[in-house]
Amino acid sequence: MKALPCLTLAAIAALSGLSRAQSAEKSAEKKDASHVSASESSAREKLVGAWRLAWMEEPGPDGKVHRITDRKGMLLYTGDGHMSVQIMFPKSESALSNEYVQGGYEASFGSYEVNEEAHTLTHHVEGSVTRGLVGKDLPRVFQLSDGQLIIKSSRPDEHWSVAWEHY
């Protein structure tokens, strides 16, 4: 009779040890999985944050594309899908106005969507210094490369690109 309680205790101890080993194994698997997902984060996750304007490329009056580095700007993407962009042109361009810029200043805000397969993002404009953009969807091609976010228009009639760097 004494052997039965001893065998029962031995079985309980063995099961307890097995349970702890399995728990430790699962914990290690979760840790490995979280490490992989962090190192291979999605493009959307990489977009989130504040970006400073590095340069812009756009056609000049001569039709050639020029790189411009004297403008100031900030681009924000939030994790919950909101965006805001502001670009201030230098004093020499303060009279500039077009579809995106008014009086040498560009600003808009709204929400955004990312299509990682197509490498596109779409800004859904809710407010803008140029009221003609309000309510529009602005599809953009993006590339994350060498610490920069490079955004280009997806429209064939627009030949500009903008590079941003994380603050």
Given the structure tokens 């039965």, which residue do they identify?
4
Provide the H-helix boundaries in the chain. Answer: 3-39, 43-47
- pLDDT exceeds 90 at position 65: yes
Which is it for the CA torsion 129, 131, 137, 139, positive or negative? Answer: negative
Topology adopted by domain 43-166: Lipocalin (2.40.128)
87-136 pLDDT per residue, tens:
999 988 888 888 889 999 999 999 999 999 999 999 999 999 999 999 99
Task: Return the domain boundaries, the chain.
Answer: 1-40, 43-166
- Tallying the residues shown for the chain, one arrives at 167
pTM, two decimal places: 0.73
Please report the pLDDT score of residue 41 as a whole number.
73
Cβ(141)–Cβ(150) under 8 Å? no
Q: Output the CA torsion 130→135→139→144 (10° steps).
A: 70
Concatenated DSSP letters for 31-54?
Answer: HHHHHHHHHT--HHHHH-EEEEEE
SS3 state of residue 1: coil
Distance CA 135, CA 58 (A): 25
